[in-house]
Structure 1
């Protein structure tokens, strides 16, 4: 995952299938304004709890946008990165199982596929429970995301997970104590708000009473 040997920036191709930049113009209270924004895919995220192990199942992966954010906060713009000064580990995150909505399938079916591909658990779609639907990245994209909850057991394990094609994803099982520390006051983590919100929802609504 951290075996990255070179990092550099380039212009965004106009035909990117994932990100479409635009400037939106509008008139508000008689004043013309504009806002730079991105059109991105809607997505799903899944809170995954293994009841056999009593552990939450998350995924660990290298996120270029996080790596870029860390570097530019210190350097501003850059052409090529000194990997000794900025090791790839600073861009590795711990997240909920998730994926973009880019297929003609129900969102629950897409969530089920992500659970299988990323984490290796094969569960029927009926066990995918909707938690919340909300907007992410409201300052930049406003994309819709649906959060789901799914309980799995060791018997549901069909493969080792890790993603498809050239994805490099590590499955991480956290004890409830470890996960709880991620959302305590003062915690500093490389996790997105969706993950932290999902963990807090779990502890408020589904965690065993002793957790």
Structure 2
């Protein structure tokens, strides 16, 4: 289990991955403004192992997910104010004519476990190498994260779509790759020098749709969509129920 500690949230003044902007524009005569992030496009790959009839996913700690979960457990401002008023009224007693006083701030909620920030995802990566095609970038990610060496020509393009349209609007292109145990040339896990700590996870084909719709399993929309795509397009080929 990952150990997460010494958390410090600070302003982001410079980043190689995200750049915040505010755009002003007129829409049908109405002046509007919108805040957005400029970021890289990305690729993702649905990997299916034909030897073991399972999907190959990655599992990793995501700080953004973790912080959202932590923020969700914190009392909202109106809740804090109500508790402060209640505490002050109890301390003053029924005969006091003085207004409520705000008690000292109580300790914040306990830090969530690291598992609160762990998600199941498709193998994926940023499109940040202009000299490589999307297929070549996807091939590199499959090798680095999951340990399978798949020729770029064997990657099947599923579709592309916009993700985070309210904030980033970046495009992700999804591929499908069939691998076998013979293609496995390493353990995967990502690039340690880049700070990646990735666990390779296998989901049996017959459990795929149950996995996709289980809300207790934190996962990306890419996992759900790609499993549905496989069920609609590839399941008859393998004549195995995807347990819908």
- The structure with the greater share of residues assigned to helix is 2
Q: Which moved more, 1:84-93 or 1:131-140?
A: 84-93
What root-mean-square deviation, in Å, do the aligned CA atoms of Structure 1 and Structure 2 show? Answer: 1.9
Match of 2:187 in 1: 160
**In 2, Cα distance between the equivalents of 1:190 and 1:120?**
23
The secondary structure found in structure 2 opposite 1:177 is helix
* Residues 6 and 83 in structure 1, CA contact (< 8 A), matched pair in contact too: no
Residues paired across the two proteins, number: 206
Corresponding residue for 2:97? none
* 57-66 or 200-209, which deviates more: 200-209
Separation in 2, partners of 1:99, 1:83: 34
DSSP 3-state at the match of 1:72: helix
Q: TM-score, normalised by structure 1?
A: 0.92
Identify the residue that residue 8 of structure 1 maps to in structure 2.
8
Deviations 1:9-58 (A, max 9, x none): 111023x1000011111101111001111111100000000000100000
- CA distance in structure 1 between the aligned counterparts of 2:30 and 2:233, rounded to whole angstroms: 45
Contact residue 18 and residue 39 of structure 2 kept, 8 A: yes
Aligned 1:1-150 pairs, distance under 5 A: 2-14=2-14, 16-75=15-74, 85-104=111-130, 105-150=132-177
| Alignment partners' CA distance in 2, 1:42 and 1:199 | 22
Instruction: State yes or no: 1:200 paired with 2:228.
Output: yes
Cα gap change, 1:147 to 1:88, in 2 (>3 Å): same
Change (3 A) 1:153 1:135: same
SS in 1 for 2:140: helix
Give me the whole-angstrom Cα distance separating, in 2, the residues matched to 1:82 and 1:115: 41
SS state at 1:210 partner = coil
> Which of the pair is proportionally richer in strand?
1
Q: Distance in 2 between matches of 1:20 and 1:108?
A: 26
Q: Shift of residue 153 of structure 1?
A: 0.3
Q: 1:157 to 1:82 in 2, by over 3 A?
A: farther
Q: State the 1:201 CA deviation.
A: 0.8
Asked if the contact 1:56/1:176 (under 8 Å) is kept, the reply is yes
Larger radius of gyration: 2
Q: Is the 8 A contact 2:70 2:111 kept in 1?
A: no
Q: After superposition, give the CA deviation of every residue in 1:160-197 in whole Å (9 maximum; x if it has no partner).
A: 0000122100000111233221233x634311111211
